[in-house]
Amino acid sequence: MFRRLLTLALIEVLCSGARCFHIRYIIESKRSQLDPEIFLNTTEILQKYNYQPETHYVYTEDGFELKLFRVRRSGPPVVLVHGIGDSSDGWVVAGPKYSLAFLLADAGYDVWLFNCRGNRYSRGHTRDIPKEEYWDFSFEEIGALDLPATVDYVLSATRSPKLTYVGYSQGSTTFLVLCSLRPEYNRKIDQAVLLAPVAWLVNIKHPLVGVVSRNIDALSSFFKQKKIYELANRGELNQLYHAEVCNVSSPLNTLCLLEISLIFGLNSLTDLVSDRLPIITTHTAAGFSTKTLLHFVQAVNSKRFCRFDYGEALNLRRYSSPKPPDYDVSRVTVPMTMFVSESDWFASPEDVKILRNRVRGKVRYIPIDKSLKFTHLEFIFGSRMNDIVNGPVLEILNTLR
């Protein structure tokens, strides 16, 4: 089966997106054998468990159409912001016993699920623009344009003076961009909960980061030459592959563990919500721009949390400086809680300490001991996250009510 799926993937590439009837036929026959939830979107998953989601459309200053999902409750509004390459799916696919969106709604919070520009839910634009122009954004535009539009929309819809922000990984990066570049939004957020916050990447522990960072120019040239603007766009073949191998009862699950371990440092598939593993892994590729990846790699090389580096000439035109300016996180005054694991390859305690020392908002720091081997992916998909993350998050938010 695994070899057949690889063969289908190769044929799909060779078809260059053309309609290959025999591939589609096999896909449809395979779909019928799988858990239907693998193919559900955020609202359909919520509906399956008897939650009644709403869909809202938000438009940014530069014309992007963002899709937000809401589980309406009478409590304070909470906006959940996903990580890189993910979507609102990330907050629901672990199921009602584990996913934070369900737990917050059950606790009476008015839950809003954000989707950044370019992911599977937020692909619209008010103008017909070339693909290259559409994907010309990094996490800066998400923080400086998507989040302000979202915050204003949510506050208007709920008639609330402030909201609570929960960001995971890149969702914390974009929060810091928002409050640094548009400091007036500090007054609109009563509390920020940052799960595995990513800003400085001086001490990133990923074993492959050195190879990637040393070859950033070649990587950038490759993307331009091949006109690759987007990464991690999920497709049906991708879904079928992960549904097949990412199952604890599958004889091929070693392939799944190998992939997730290589990317995130996961120790065992059982560290994730194992009975939901096929659903989790088939939903986590929602698309993101190549420019976003390059921006993070630049941060590794520069050892700074700064704006995108276009090269000296373009930097002078854009920033009036040969080097991109730093994000001034001293402007961030929102009270924050930072959950940080000592086993996280991406958000190291050493780098988060740099952030803690530079923001002006009150910071509550919650370390997760290295002995727990709690990795980056486990913050929203982990089998232990209720005790380690979700329970404390609910306690923190309840103190504000």
Instruction: Kindly tell me if the per-residue pLDDT of 26 is higher than 50.
Output: no
pLDDT of residue 28: 54
Give the dihedral of Cα atoms 28, 29, 33, 35; nearest 10 deg: 0
Residue 379 tokens read as 């913050």
Mind telling me the catalytic residues? Answer: 169, 376
| pLDDT reported for residue 4 | 39
Interatomic CA distance for residues 333 and 226, integer angstroms: 42
- pLDDT over 70 at 5, yes or no: no
Asked if residue 24 has pLDDT above 60, the reply is: no
Are the C-beta atoms of 5 and 237 separated by less than 8 Å? Answer: yes
Q: Does residue 272 carry a pLDDT above 50?
A: yes
pLDDT at 14: 41
Average pLDDT over residues 314-324: 97
Question: For residues 76 and 112, is the Cβ–Cβ distance under 8 A?
Answer: no
- Axis-axis angle for helices 253-264, 236-245 (nearest 10): 110
Alpha helices in 159-307 (DSSP H): 170-181, 209-214, 216-226, 236-245, 253-264, 277-281, 290-302
322 contacts: CB under 8 Å, gap ≥ 6 = 312, 315, 316
- Torsion angle, CA of 283/284/285/290, rounded to 10 degrees? 160
User: What pTM was estimated for this model as a whole?
Assistant: 0.92
86: pLDDT strictly greater than 80: yes
34-234+283-398 belongs to CATH 3.40.50.1820: yes
Q: Which two tokens stand for residue 19?
A: 């309609």
Confidence band, pLDDT 50/70/90 cuts, at residue 3: very low
Domain range list for the chain: 34-234+283-398
